[in-house]
């Protein structure tokens, strides 16, 4: 399978981070939760800084200087934490966007999250801009004048903004307005936009792993001591600042005003925004057929509701007069067509209706539970080796058919999470010596929770569970991306050798009993 260069670059970066941090603490797997954690750092440090801050033209700079130098051991550190956490959140958000773009997780059913995420980034940027304004040093003056020029380029202002600075008409009232926007107005709007951003997802996590969070905080705290944030000289509207240390995370657009007219800067920024917003349809992506409920085989248990990653399933009162109280309903506009719901349905047990077509409470038309059972039986029947292994994989990981040989057969699924745990037992019962389940990389499922739910089902901590009588020695789970063929192949060979030893030991025991 060919992998586009952008995705290959991301997978290489992800692999390096896995080596450096481990799969559980890899920050690339927790960019969303890391961003929320950084927001908490920004909020707490901002509240602390607000207490001694004096929101006026005359008092803002002096109060910030007092915090930075006189109370450096607390307020100064808080100011630096506020600054560096703000920079860090831009990095995590940009990496999050790059990850989704490189992995193709921005088109099809995911268009809503992408389109609502882009404005959230711009809101973060404008929030940082007003924060720099409040310091009211030379950099704040530069930002204020540049912002006024950009606003005046819009028809609704007609030069009124710039006059505040050119004519020296900047007042405390206007400064307090900026303070209100930064401390209350913009954060509330950002919170609302982030809520909209995750609205179509279920089981949303907002806390990163404790170790990763603490490591991030300690790194920011260390940076705050090593290189504390400091101000420029105080703002003076009668003097043009000569040397400025630009924060390129937030203020990258302002240097363009030195070489371009304001309208061209607006064309660039709005053009980039428009391009990002329409990316999900360049070209458009068609999702697979949506999940279908069969009430004749649904008992309304709600396991599919619990497992759905995108809030596409709801539970309601029974409508067909059956003895059960509830039934599930699929909302096609939200369905990702991942099939995880089919894997969570107790009726998907392949040992049911062995001589008839397997029907289940919720299923995928393009790959039904009966299809999975048939493909598994065919894969086992097609092998004729010393040690025979069935490899289950998903469409977004490594193509498991690349391992097809005399003693190995792949069964490709939409997502590894659509496989009921009993399908593993079924493969072993049919004659396979072992079963390997692969898919996306650990903690990085294309459908958010597919490989996680599979692992928890096998461990027995999430229903439907892999039953206790299943021989765990014959089951191996190894996630991997398209570029991980060598790693999976190495693990597959080790698994094959382990199975050979088990088989040899069992043969010896059988022979001893026969004697």
Structure tokens at 358: 């397997």
- Between CA 384 and CA 381 the distance in angstroms is 8
DSSP letter assigned to residue 168: S
Task: Count how many Cα atoms sit within 13 Å of the Cα of residue 218 in the half-sphere of its side chain.
Answer: 6
pLDDT for 139 = 96
DSSP letter assigned to residue 185: I
Domain locations along the chain = 29-281, 292-514
3 state SS for 21-75: HCCCCCHHHCHHHHHHHHHHHHHHHHHHHHCCCCCCCCCHHHHHHHHHHHCHHHH
Cα angle for residues 405, 411, 417 (degrees, 5° grid): 145
Structure tokens at 481: 């991306």
- Placement of tokens 């061209």 in the chain: 264
Question: Regarding the domain delimited by 29-281, which CATH topology (the fold level of the hierarchy) does it fall under?
Answer: Cytochrome Bc1 Complex; Chain C (1.20.810)
Distances (CA, A) of 408 to 9, 152, 441, 458, 495: 30, 68, 21, 22, 12
DSSP letter assigned to residue 290: P
pLDDT for 143 = 93
pTM (2 d.p.): 0.91
pLDDT for 168 = 57
Query: 475 φ, ψ to 5°?
Result: -125, 130
Task: Count how many Cα atoms sit within 13 Å of the Cα of residue 192 in the half-sphere of its side chain.
Answer: 6
pLDDT for 300 = 93
pLDDT for 216 = 97
8 A C-beta contact, residue 287 and residue 337: yes
8 A C-beta contact, residue 447 and residue 340: yes
Q: What's the count of helices (H) and strands (E) in the chain, helices before strands? A: 17, 8
Give the N- to C-terminal CA distance of the chain in Å, as an integer: 52
Task: Give the residue among 489, 506, 383 at the shortest CA–CA distance from 436.
Answer: 489
Q: What share of the chain is helix, strand, coil (3-state, %, to 5)?
A: 55, 5, 35
pLDDT for 376 = 97
Residues of the chain with confidence (pLDDT) below 70: 1-3, 157-170, 514-515
pLDDT for 167 = 52
8 A C-beta contact, residue 456 and residue 462: yes
> How many other CB atoms are there within 10 angstroms of residue 43's CB atom?
13
Distances (CA, A) of 118 to 43, 123, 197, 514: 22, 9, 9, 71
Cα angle for residues 233, 236, 237 (degrees, 5° grid): 145
Could you tell me whether strands 362-363 and 408-413 are parallel, antiparallel, or unpaired per DSSP bridges?
unpaired
- Between CA 169 and CA 148 the distance in angstroms is 13
pLDDT for 165 = 58
């Amino acid at each position: 399978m060919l992998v586009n260069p952008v995705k290959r670059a991301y997978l290489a970066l992800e692999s390096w981070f896995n080596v450096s941090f481990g799969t559980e603490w890899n920050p690339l797997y927790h960019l969303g939760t890391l961003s929320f954690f950084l927001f908490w750092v920004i909020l707490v440090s901002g509240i602390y800084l607000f207490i001694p801050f004096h929101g006026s033209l005359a008092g803002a700079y002096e109060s910030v200087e007092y915090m930075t130098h006189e109370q450096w051991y607390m307020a100064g550190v808080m100011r630096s934490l506020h600054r560096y956490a703000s920079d860090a959140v831009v990095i995590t958000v940009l990496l999050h966007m790059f990850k989704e773009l490189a992995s193709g997780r921005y088109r099809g059913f995911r268009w809503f999250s992408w389109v609502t995420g882009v404005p959230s980034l711009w809101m973060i940027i404008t929030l940082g801009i007003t924060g720099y304004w409040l310091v009211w040093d030379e950099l704040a003056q530069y930002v204020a004048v540049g912002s006024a020029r950009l606003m005046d380029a819009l028809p609704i202002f007609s030069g009124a903004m710039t006059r505040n600075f050119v004519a020296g008409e900047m007042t405390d009232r206007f400064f307090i307005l900026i303070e209100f926007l930064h401390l209350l107005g913009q954060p509330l709007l950002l919170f609302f936009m982030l809520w909209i951003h995750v609205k179509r997802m279920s089981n949303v996590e907002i806390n990163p792993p404790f170790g990763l969070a603490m490591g991030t905080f300690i790194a920011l705290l260390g940076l705050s001591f090593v290189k504390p944030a400091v101000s420029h000289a105080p703002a003076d509207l009668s003097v043009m600042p000569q040397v400025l240390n630009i924060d390129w995370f937030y203020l990258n657009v302002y240097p363009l005003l030195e070489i371009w007219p304001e309208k061209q800067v607006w064309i660039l920024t709005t053009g980039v925004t428009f391009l990002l917003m329409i990316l999900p349809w360049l070209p458009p992506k068609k999702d697979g057929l949506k999940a279908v409920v069969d009430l004749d085989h649904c008992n309304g248990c709600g396991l599919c509701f619990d497992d759905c990653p995108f809030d596409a399933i709801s539970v309601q009162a029974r409508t067909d007069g059956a003895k059960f109280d509830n039934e599930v309903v699929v909302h096609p506009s939200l369905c990702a067509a991942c099939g995880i719901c089919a894997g969570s349905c107790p009726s998907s047990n392949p040992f049911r209706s062995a001589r008839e077509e397997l029907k289940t409470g919720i299923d995928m038309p393009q790959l039904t539970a009966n299809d999975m059972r048939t493909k598994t039986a065919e894969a086992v029947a097609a092998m004729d080796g010393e040690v025979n292994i069935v490899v289950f994989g998903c469409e977004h990981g490594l193509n498991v058919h690349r391992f097809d040989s005399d003693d190995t057969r792949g069964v490709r699924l939409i997502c590894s999470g659509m496989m009921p745990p009993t399908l593993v037992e079924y493969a072993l019962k049919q004659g396979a010596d072992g079963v390997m389940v692969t898919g996306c990389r650990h903690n990085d499922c294309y459908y958010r929770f597919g490989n996680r739910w599979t692992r928890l089902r096998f461990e027995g901590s999430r229903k439907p569970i892999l039953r206790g009588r299943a021989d765990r020695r014959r089951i191996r789970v190894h996630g991997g991306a398209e570029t991980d063929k060598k790693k999976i192949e190495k693990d597959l060979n080790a698994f094959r050798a382990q199975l050979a030893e088990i088989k040899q030991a069992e043969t010896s025991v059988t022979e001893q009993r026969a004697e």
